[in-house]
Structure formats: C-alpha cells, structure tokens
Amino acid sequence: MNHTPENWGRPRDDIYGFYDKSFLQNTGGAQQHTTRPVVTGTSVVALKYNGGVVMAADNLASYGSLARFTDIKRIKQVGDHTIVGAGGDISDMQYLFDKLLESVLIKEEYQNDGHALRAPHIYSYLARVLYNRRCKFNFLWNSILVAGYDDEKKPFLASADLLGTRFSSPALASGYGAQLAIPILRKIAPDEASVTKITKEQAIEAIKLCMKVLFYRDARSMNKYSLAVISEEGVDLTHGVALENESWKFAETVRGYGAQTV
C-alpha cells in the first residue's frame, strides 16, 4: 500500500482499480520546490571606484533561449546609497526585490528613528535569506551583487548566491560576467588599493566595455541595460541604456566554430 501524502484520502488501487493521478500537480513527493530556474536574467557586473561603485545588468529576461522580456529591471535601489543587482530566476528576483526588500524597507522607515539600513546590512540580510532557503532545499535561484557604502563610508561591494555563498572583491560579476568581465575589471582593479586610483568616469567606461563584451559573447544577453552609479550624492540609476559603438567587425576573424575554408 502506498502511504505517501499524495495518496491520502484517495481510493485504494487494490479495491477500486488504478486511480488516475495524472491531474495532480506533482507525483514525486509531498512538496515540490524549485528545481530549475525558468525565466532568467544573465550577468550582473560591478566595480568599485574612488568614492563609490558602478554596477550594470542588462534588461533581458530569457525563457530558455527565447528572449522573452526586454524591459526587465534587474537593479534595485534600496535606500539612499544602496543598490542590489540580481541574475538568475526573474520571479525569485522579483520576490526578493518587491516582496522581501520592500517590506524590510517599509518596516525600517516606520521606525522613524534616524536609522537606515545600508549596504552591508542589506547584504547580510539577503545572504541570510538565500542561505536559509538553501538549507530548506527551497532555493531562491539567484546570484546577487550588493553595492553601496560600508560603516566607514568606504565603497562596499559584495556577492551572494543561491547557495548562500558570500564574498567580496573590488570587482565582481555573476554568470558569464565571471568569465568575460572579471578579467577586464581586474586589470584596472586588481586589489583594494588600486580602487583609490580609479575615477568614476574610468569605472563607468570599464563597466560599459564589459557590457559590450558580454553582449558580443553571451547569447542570453541584450544591448540594452541598467546602469547604476553610486556616489556620495546618492544613486544614479538609469534603465534602458543603449550599448554604444557596437561593432561586429571582429566576428569575421573568429575561427574554429563553423565550416571555414581557410
């Protein structure tokens, strides 16, 4: 006799014959968790500079190989000087951004006591949420970057993913960005000391270059993205920034994939 929860209250096969369970949502176990991401966003890239952080993420949400939505905002401003960028499952990202973060911010606002959550606090919270969910085998399928200022008012940039893994670095990128953008960014920001020599303009330029390289090579990317610049004045977050000086000239020189004759 099958005693698993989905059989509770169902007619017994040995008496009433085979019960057609095909209408049931899941037949594998009691509760189904997310086992794969569905609609996804690709890389998020970010770089610290002297006095702040620059971050970018494109506006595409893919459904497998289908470019499903082209106006998705994957960077959220959280408070005066903090931003969060997310890749991975878009619905999980929107749950994080619109449900969890929003309610945390509202609760904080209601206290009205002069305190505000800043980047390290938001990061700590999100990393804990992601880790708690992975411990329940119920992943929030994202990889996130949090940028802002730390308690000493120095630029802050850190990463957390669906497993709850956390780390920090002067230049960070998730997804394909870890392969394609990081080498570009580490060239100008190999360590924390080098950050003080990078200007805001240089940082923006480097991030824009990364977005271009990613668009050239990442098949799940697009040429329109959100760009966020954190400076002491606050967050300058622009959605729908178009890729500049795009050129596919290099493509003709690429060898090794198709049936080239030479």
5 binds another protein per the rule CB under 8 A = no
DSSP state of 196: T
Instruction: Tell me how many residues contact another protein (CB under 8 A).
Output: 44
Assess contact for 260 and 242: CB atoms under 8 A.
no
x/- map, 149-178, another protein, by CB under 8 A: ----------x-xxxxxxxxx----xxx-x
Catalytic residue among 34, 42, 196, 238: 34
Residues paired with 77 in a beta bridge: 83
At 26, give phi and psi (nearest 5°).
-140, 145
Task: Show the tokens assigned to 76.
Answer: 């959220």
Of positions 51, 52, 85, 87, contacts another protein by CB under 8 A:
87
Give me the 114-133 binding string for another protein, x by CB under 8 A, dash otherwise: xx-x--xx-xxx--x--x--
Helix, strand, or coil here: 147?
Answer: strand
Task: Choose which of 80, 102, 191, 205 interacts with another protein (CB under 8 A).
Answer: 191
Comparing CB distances to another protein, the nearer of 182 and 243 is: 182
Would you count residue 135 as binding another protein (CB under 8 A)?
A: yes
Q: Which of 137, 196, 201, 217 binds another protein (CB under 8 A)?
A: 137
H-helix or E-strand spanning residue 178: helix 176-188
**What does DSSP say about strands 39-41 and 61-63: parallel, antiparallel, or unpaired?**
antiparallel
Residue with tokens 């392969």, as numbered in its chain? 179
Task: Answer yes or no: 34 catalytic.
Answer: yes
Kindly state whether residue 58 participates in binding another protein, applying the rule CB under 8 A: no
Rounded Cα distance between 131 and 138, Å, is 10
Q: Interface with another protein includes 63 (CB under 8 A)?
A: no
Q: Considering beta carbons, is residue 20 or 252 the nearer one to another protein?
A: 20
Among 71, 98, 109, 192, binds another protein (CB under 8 A): 192
Residue whose CB is less far from another protein, 34 or 236:
34
Cα–Cα nearest to 166, from 130, 192, 118: 130
CA gap 205, 210 in Å, rounded = 9
SS3 206: helix
CA distance 164 to 126: 9
Catalytic residue ranges: 34
**Which residues form the interface with another protein (CB under 8 A)?**
28, 35-37, 40, 42-43, 87-88, 111, 113-115, 117, 120-121, 123-125, 128, 131, 134-135, 137, 139, 143, 159, 161-169, 174-176, 178-179, 182, 191-192
